[in-house]
Amino acid sequence: MKIGLVGLPKSGKTTLFNLLTGSTIATSRYDAGRAEMHTGIARVPDPRVDRLSGLFKPKKTTYATFEVVDLAGIEKGERTALDAKEFRNADALLHVVRAFADEARGAPDPRRDILDLELELIFADLEVVDRRVERLDVSIKKQRKDAEVQEHAVLSRLKTALEAETPLRAMALTVDEVRLLRGFTFLSQKPILHLVNVEEAGIAQAEKVAERYGLADVAARPHTRVGWVSAVIEAEIAQLAGDEQQAFLADLGLTEPAINRVLRECFALLGLVSFFTTGEDEVRAWPIPAGTRAPHASRRQMGCRSQRSPDLCSSGTPARRCTRPSTWDSTARTARAVRCGRPSVRRPAA
Ligand SMILES: Nc1nc2c(ncn2[C@@H]2O[C@H](COP(=O)(O)OP(=O)(O)O)[C@@H](O)[C@H]2O)c(=O)[nH]1
Ligand SMILES: [Mg+2]
């Protein structure tokens, strides 16, 4: 699964990309910052994995990951850049919104930038829909095919919504419609996280970012989240370790680096949850689609069977069932699947 970073040039996308992926790509203080594209892998910090690792002391600990693409900045009206394949193929969008001062680009206005970007996505989709509807009109006139008539009807509905500036992610679509539309890779259909990039002085009130910048209505939209980060401060936090880091975080009134929360928010935005396997060799968090039944996930993805276990995180002590050698066969791996939070796990049939 892949998340695409989007936003105006110099909003902090590359700074954030480096934080998410642990990369060290040069940021764009001096250049135009428009021509580059980077991809990387982000690791999702998860206290449950740490806890399982502490319990099982495996040779290897593997956290859930997802892919991140950092694309060129998109100026207002420059939506041709949105046509990049990497961008179209993203499963969700992370919109980096500047809320720090930048003399060259004027006073920050997160609400304006969010509404502008949403409109660019909507217009880009409208162009795609219009082109396709025109072709279908011609084709249906020549010879009427049921499938094309059906597609025409669905696209006409989308067109009406887009013309009313409604993003496609806000539309209720049937399973068949979703299937029909999949190939279009519509941009306004992708779940989006608007991440307001605040400066240090803004961190104290950052939890109220939606109120401060008038974004409550944006945050309430379907498949839309509003979050915050201070990318430059997070970069400083990442340079520190141990007590020094803790002291710096405490000074800022934070209990953990904000980037950890951003990583978890991105993971959730992609519709993923973690499924855990444990063993002497490896403790591992597997990304699986939210709503997948644990037995299904374990058999299909990991070749093992799931087992019910109590919540390891809140109780602090593992139940006997978890620490005993497995009582069921694990075919492909010597792994025991342990439930620790979602998704729900049902005991496999004996
Ligand atoms: N003050 C401040 N500057 C930032 C922040 N995030 C990024 N910048 C600066 O903004 C400039 C552009 O950052 P970059 O990540 O390259 O932006 P991009 O063009 O969106 O990829 C760099 O000089 C960064 O140091 C922030 O949170 N606060
Ligand atoms: Mg950049």
- CATH of residue 159's domain is 1.10.150.300
Mean pLDDT of 224-241: 94
Last residue of a domain, one of 238, 269, 300: 269
Smallest Cα–Cα separation from 192: which of 117, 290, 284, 80? 117
- pLDDT over threshold 50, residue 334: no
Ligand 1 centroid, distance to 266 Cα (angstroms): 20
Q: Is 215 part of a structural domain of the chain?
A: yes
Same domain, 138 and 100: no
- Residue whose CA is closest, atom 12 of ligand 1? 10
Same domain, 278 and 314: yes
Same domain, 138 and 175: yes
Same domain, 134 and 278: no
Question: Which of 21, 27, 75, 196 is the pocket-test mutation for ligand 1 (most atoms within 8 Å of CB)?
Answer: 27
The residues near 274 (Cβ < 8 Å, ≥ 6 apart) are: 44, 46, 48, 49, 64, 285, 286, 287, 288, 341
Q: How many domains is the chain built from? A: 3
Q: Is 234 part of a structural domain of the chain?
A: yes
- pLDDT over threshold 50, residue 122: yes
Ligand 1 centroid, distance to 164 Cα (angstroms): 34
Q: Name, of 13-27, 219-233, 305-319, the range with top average pLDDT.
A: 219-233
Q: Is 120 part of a structural domain of the chain?
A: yes
Mean pLDDT of 208-212: 91
Q: Is 123 part of a structural domain of the chain?
A: yes
pLDDT at 315: 46
Looking at the CA of residue 34, tell me the nearest atom of ligand 1.
Answer: 19
Smallest Cα–Cα separation from 310: which of 350, 271, 264, 347? 347
Mean pLDDT of 88-112: 93
Same domain, 93 and 147: no
pLDDT at 306: 64
Separation between Cα atoms, residue 189 and residue 93, nearest integer Å: 10
Q: Is 250 part of a structural domain of the chain?
A: yes
Ligand 2 centroid, distance to 52 Cα (angstroms): 37
- pLDDT over threshold 90, residue 327: no
Name the 3-class secondary structure at 67.
strand
Same domain, 153 and 245: no
Name the residue with higher pLDDT: 333 or 100. Answer: 100
Same domain, 175 and 321: no
Ligand 1 centroid, distance to 31 Cα (angstroms): 12
Name the residue with higher pLDDT: 7 or 307. Answer: 7
CA 309 to chain centre: 28
Same domain, 86 and 160: no
- Residue whose CA is closest, atom 5 of ligand 1? 232
Ligand 2 centroid, distance to 70 Cα (angstroms): 7
Confidence band, pLDDT 50/70/90 cuts, at residue 289: confident
What domain range includes position 304? 273-338
- Residue whose CA is closest, atom 22 of ligand 1? 29
pLDDT at 268: 93
Buried b (16+ CB within 10 A) or exposed e, 293-326: ebbebbbeebebbbbbbeebeeeeebeeebeeeb
CA 108-18-102 angle, to 5 degrees, is 20
Mean pLDDT of 84-97: 91
Lowest mean pLDDT among 4-8, 31-35, 93-97, 221-225: 31-35
Mean pLDDT of 176-199: 94
Same domain, 92 and 197: yes
Question: Which of 17, 28, 200 is the pocket-test mutation for ligand 1 (most atoms within 8 Å of CB)?
Answer: 28
Same domain, 140 and 253: no
Last residue of a domain, one of 216, 241, 269: 269
Confidence band, pLDDT 50/70/90 cuts, at residue 26: confident
pLDDT at 104: 86
- Look up residue 21 and give its two tokens: 């992926």
Question: Which of 209, 232, 236, 259 is the pocket-test mutation for ligand 1 (most atoms within 8 Å of CB)?
Answer: 232
- Residue whose CA is closest, atom 14 of ligand 1? 12
Same domain, 180 and 228: no
Ligand 2 centroid, distance to 251 Cα (angstroms): 29
Same domain, 131 and 252: no
Q: Is 160 part of a structural domain of the chain?
A: yes
- pLDDT over threshold 90, residue 308: no
Q: Is 110 part of a structural domain of the chain?
A: no
pLDDT at 15: 93
Read off the CATH number of the domain in which 198 is found.
3.40.50.300
Per-residue model confidence as pLDDT tens digits over 247-277: 999 999 899 999 999 999 999 999 999 888 8
Cβ atoms < 10 Å from Cβ of 52: 24
Ligand 2 centroid, distance to 292 Cα (angstroms): 36
Looking at the CA of residue 198, tell me the nearest atom of ligand 1.
Answer: 27
- Look up residue 157 and give its two tokens: 């509905």
Q: Name, of 111-125, 202-216, 288-302, the range with top average pLDDT.
A: 111-125
Q: Is 294 part of a structural domain of the chain?
A: yes
